[in-house]
Amino acid sequence: MNEYSLFGEIIYLEVMRFTPAGIPVLSFRIRGESEQSEAGLKRIVNVDIESVVIGGLANHDLRVGKKFSFFGFFDKKSKKSSHLVFHITQIKN
């Protein structure tokens, strides 16, 4: 399954753009920090994730510094790229 969740803070927000069909697209970066267990040891994990919302979610109150729970999936940035982007499908306060 390609379903992920991340609680994090928006640290960078691009200007909203629109597809040729007029669908809003908003790209941003999320910083998440969590405590994880690996090989029986606890460690702090910090990640910065390139993310995107498409459609109605792009009108959500997204601002730098705000924290949310984000849900979605990962996909390549483009067909020729191996760079992954977190596609947000749900946002919870």
**Model confidence pTM above 0.95:** no
Domain boundaries, the chain: 4-92
pLDDT in tens, 25-71: 999 999 999 999 999 999 999 999 999 999 999 989 899 999 999 99
Q: How far apart are CA 88 and CA 74, in angstroms?
A: 9
Whether domain 4-92 has CATH 2.40.50.140: the reply is yes
Q: At residue 83, what are phi and psi to the nearest 5 degrees?
A: -75, 125
Euclidean distance between CA atoms 31 and 49, whole angstroms? 6
